[in-house]
Every structure is written in C-alpha cells, then in structure tokens.
Chain A
Amino acid sequence: MAAEPLIKVENLVKHFVVRLGAFGERGATVHAVDDVNFDIFAGETLSLVGESGCGKSTTGFTLLNLQKATSGKVIFQGENIVSLDEKRMRPYRRELQIVFQDPYSTLNPRMTIGEVVGEPILFHKLATKAELPEKVTRLLADVGLPARFASRYPHELSGGQRQRVAIARALACQPKFIVCDEAISALDVSVQAQIINLLLDLQEKYGLTYLFIAHDLAVVRHISDRVGVMYLGRLAELATREQLFSNPLHPYTRALLSAVPEADPELEKTRQRQILVGDVPSPLAPPAGCRFHTRCPIAMDKCRAVVPEWREVVPGHHVACHAVEVGAAG
C-alpha cells in the first residue's frame, strides 16, 4: 500500500450540539467522531465496524461533506473538501457517492426508477437527453435489473431491488468512491449475499473504491482489504484484513472477534467467547483517557487519564492502546 491514497482523513472531528431538558434549556455536545485518521487507497475496500452509535455513519457523512466537520481535514485530489461550500463542492460530489442502509427511504417515492437513475446523468451532463434511455438501461443492467423497471415506481420494488437502484444511481455519476453505509444490513440474508457480490463485481468492472460500513465482522471478513474498528467516536484499530483477524491488538477488537463464529468446526469448538461487561458510555460524556477503559479487561491507571496515541505499531497496523508495544506483531 505504498501508493498515494485516494482520500486522506486527518484529525476528523464531528460534534453535534444538542439541546436537552424539557425546554431545551441545557446545551450538550455529542462527541460523535473524535480525532479520526485514516487513508483510503484507490481500488480498495476499507471497512469500518463498531457497535451502533459509535460514529460510523457520521464518519461517512462528514467525510463526504454532507455534514459539516467540526474540525479536521479530508483531502481528495489535493483539496480539503470538508472546507468547501456547496457550490465549490459540486464537482467533487459526482466522484464521491453514497449508498444508504434503508432501501425503503433511499429513493424519492415520487420519481420513477428511470428518473432516479437518469437525474444525476443529466444534472452532471454525462449524456444528452437522447442518449439517456440507453444509459439508464445499461446502468440497470449493471445492477442486474431489466430495462422495463425504468418506468416503475420505488414502492413497486422489493427491498433488494431498491438497493440495486440506489447503487445504479450512485454508479450513474461515474464515481471513484462510494460509501456503503450498512448498505446490506436491512436486507434479508439471502439478498445480502447477492448485493455484496454485486458490489464486488462493480468494483472490479469500474475500479471503484469503497468505504464499507458494517456492524457485522463476518461480512467484513469476506470482502475487505483493510478493516477499521471504531469505539465511541474514535478509531481503536486499523489493519489489513489478515492482520486484524489473525492478530487483533486492541482489547475491543479481540472482544468483537471472539463473538464471530469460526467457519472451521475444530476452531469453533475451542473459540473462547469474551463477553464485554457494562454498557457503551454516552457520547455526551465520553470517559476521559481511553474511551474503552470502563469496559476493558486489562485497563490500567494510565488508561483512565491519558488518551492512547494512534500509532502504527507494525507497518500497516494502527492501534490506539497503552497496552500494545511497538512491534507487537507477535
């Protein structure tokens, strides 16, 4: 991974100011994403996993400048895109796309499938009006839908079919990069596999780069090049798939992995489940020091006071934990 990254995320922070109390009299800050750093390389699938509410979606949204970053940078084609206003952002929008979790609210119910897929093509002037029907047909074919679907409305389609349309809409922009925000989580298990295979096929065909957000490590193991683990707004660990699954360094990653069933029955027999005790603390008042210390089985005094540094302990393997030594690849 020596190549220049497609996207560099530097010290990205997103806080939401919310009003609490019956009359909204108290202000409070949701620490949704705090000081997150990672690179995304062209053509790879980088997965982001973590429990619900840990800031995965917010990372994706802020990275695409769909929500204003509180601070930090996202460098794409030499430009810090999170500092751009909507007008200057527009040319980059075409190249950076997103597919959402809920197939039922991802499509405008008042537009036909053809209009949904055709709209970005016309808007970004990627084809003329005359070429449009053929373009739409080709895109629908790309996502495995027949051309006749173009005249249909979203409510006439199943969840999996709608998700295919959402993918076709993203593809219509001819993007370089797509955030898949739990794009399969809401689908039936049988449909999930189809959509994953579709995403992999399209990645190969069009050289796409994915940020694949999921809460399911089993799925991630199948498709990722690299995996990042988030906990309460911070990245805990980021490594190649092999590194992460065979040599998890962060105690939180280990706990997550111990909950994933092994494919090999022999290994499955000896699998030790490590149950995390306690709840995830509130992002309104995240713990000082290491945010995982309230649940970490090996927490030390230092963990309660000092934020662990985000370090590359072996090439390609980043972790934020006081208990991990540099070179701890063992």
Chain B
Amino acid sequence: MTMTPVNLSSTVADDEPPVSLWRDAWHRLLRNKLAVAGLAVVILLAFVAVFGPWLTPYDFLTQDLAARNQAPSLAHLFGTDDLGRDVFSRVVYGTRTAFVVAIVVTTIAVVIGVTLGAMAGYFGGLFDRIVMWFTDMTMSVPNLLLVVVINASLKTPLTAWMEARYQATLNPFYRETIWVDFLLVFGSMALISWPPYARLVRAQVLSIRGRPYVTAARALGLTNRLILIRYIVPNAIGPLIVSVSAGLGTAMVLESAFSFLGVGVNPPTPSWGNMISDGLRVWQHYPHLLAAPAAVLGLATVAFSFLGDGLNDALNPRGSK
C-alpha cells in the first residue's frame, strides 16, 4: 500500500506542549485585564471573608457609646456607627455573610438546576415538560414578591417555634434565631435562583446531545453513562462556570436587597445589605455609614461580573481557533 503523501505543514509545532481547552481558556483569561482585576478582587474578598475576624482591630459587636457616628479616621478606617461599632470591622464581617449567603445559595441552586436541567434535556418527554413548567412558573412570579411572601408567612411561626423549643429544652441552639434567618434567606433565594441554571443546562445538553461527536460515541457503542460523563458534562460545564461566577455576584446583590426590605439577614449579624439600609436612614448626616458598605458591595458585584465576562470570552472563543 502506498501511503498518501500528506502535507503536515503543521498547525502543530513539535516543541509546544499540548493545550487542552481548559488550559487554553485559562491563558486567555489571564490576558484579559478586566477579568484578572475581577479575579484579584474576588480572591481578596474571599480572603477577607475567611480571615476577616483576625484582620480587624475591633469586634463587630463591641459598642463604644463614647465614639458614636465618628467620621473615618486612622483608628476607625470607615468610622463608627450610631452604636459606636467599628464600621470597617462590620464591613469585613459582612463580607463573610455575603460569601456564605452567595456560596450556599448558589450551590443549592446549581445542584437543583443542574440535576433537573440535565435530566430534562437528556430524557426529554414528560419529565422535561414538568421541569420546564416549574421553571416557567418560578420565573414568572416576581422574585421579591415571592421572597417577601415566604418570609412574611414563615418567619413569625418559625421564630415562635424556636422559642418554644428553647423553653422546653433549654438547648442554646434554639436561641439563635439567626438560623431562622439563614433558612429563610437561603431557602427563598435558592428557590428563585435555580431556574436559570436548569434552563441553561437543559439547553446545553439538548444542543450537545445532537452534535456529531456524541453520535460518533453512540456509533462506537459507548454506554449512555460514559457518553454523559465523558462527552456531555465536560462540554456543558463551560457556560455553567460563567453563569455561576455571575450568579455569585447577583446573589450578593439579592441578599442586600432582601436585607434592605427587612427580609434578609437580621441585625446584629452584619450584612452589607442591612448596613446599607441602616445607612440610608442617616446618609445626609453620616454618609460614610452608607458609602462604606455600598462601595464594597459595588466592588464585589463589578468584580464578579468582570470575572464572569472574562470567563465567557475565555471559554467561548468564537472565531479564534
């Protein structure tokens, strides 16, 4: 047999290491200045969220009634609030609240969304229609309305139940009404956050399922399980990463909006949202009480959105290669 002469005037040089799509995307991300800045801010904020309490000179609850409503100074970088608490320490602790809320909510939403979306896309039929009906329903109810209704109807009875349990058992766990806050905030936020993930993943699975490489895998005789694991999931995950990054920022804004409406994390636990809503009441006299948490929230949202955009460009390089 004569081998056909091939022109391998190569697209591939010998000495270059192979580039997987992931590594390629990473390099593209690092070339995007805004995305790198976003990533740096996100990492910094995450660091603050984890180690915050060890970084601040004051406890976020300690009241110094002699030093109320002070303007920013060297002793109090962001000043103090109406109870004489250090605003910087509260913002730092609020970072932890923001990350906990964002991560927990996004994780729940992603797990629900990916599971339902992937199954709907893969199996189709009745299951698909039921899931899509639920996403449409959830998405058509205004988010804030849903959350306010849930909180209004569940908060009082749950708190009362906790109180009753405490009286009955004297277990200190039940005195922490913060758990009710968290349950309601996480639960209602996750409830309104999962449908976009479900839709995204379903659309991805539907489009990937019909690609020639999946048909080729079926022609090779591979099992459904292998096709899902090796072909569909790795190719569906890129857009999900983008969406999760943006979703973390959105969740922080949502939490602030809820706190502002009084259905979020309640004082005294510092959250940027309840600091903003407290600050708004007195902003004409003490602008720093509004400016500090608002600026940090703004910074975080912008950082997540730059990172999300950068990931989008890095993972979906239309036209290049």
Contacts and interface: CB of A to CB of B under 8 A. Distances in A.
Nearest to B18: A151
B31 to A, nearest CB: 17
A198 B230 contact: no
A120 B11 CA distance: 26
A89 B215 contact: no
Contacts of A102: 212
Contacts of B2: 201
Interface string A173-201: 10000000000000000000010011001
Contact of B216 (A151, A155, A161, A169): A169
Given A108-B231, A119-B230, 19 more contacts: A64-B219, A98-B219, A107-B213, A108-B213, A108-B230, A110-B231, A111-B230, A112-B18, A120-B220, A152-B12, A152-B18, A153-B18, A153-B21, A156-B12, A156-B18, A169-B216, A197-B4, A201-B4, A205-B1
Contacts of A109: 21, 213, 235
Task: Give the interface SS of chain B, mostly helix, strand, loop or mixed.
Answer: loop
Interface stretch (A47-55, A142-150, A209-217, A285-293): A142-150
Interface of B: 1-8, 11-12, 14, 18-21, 24, 211-213, 215-222, 224, 226, 230-231, 234-235, 321
In the A-B complex, list the 5 residue pairs whose CB atoms are closest, starting with the nearest: A93-B221, A144-B6, A110-B234, A100-B212, A197-B4
A110 B20 CA distance: 7
A190 to B, nearest CB: 8
Identify the interface centre among A101, A119, A149, A156: most chain B CB within 10 Å of its CB.
Answer: A156
Contact of A153 (B3, B19, B215): B19
Nearest to B2: A201
Nearest to B8: A146
A225 B279 CA distance: 84
Chain A: number of interface residues, binned into ranges? 35 or more
A204 interface: yes
Given A153-B20, A155-B21, A204-B1, A93 B220 contact: yes
Nearest to B320: A155
B222 to A, nearest CB: 6
Contacts of A169: 216, 220
Interface string A91-134: 10110111011100111111110000001100110000000000
A107 B235 CA distance: 12
Given A109-B21, A110-B20, A155-B21, A173 B216 contact: no
A198 B11 CA distance: 20
B11 A158 contact: yes
Contacts of A155: 21, 24, 321
Interface string A233-266: 0000000000000000000000000000000000
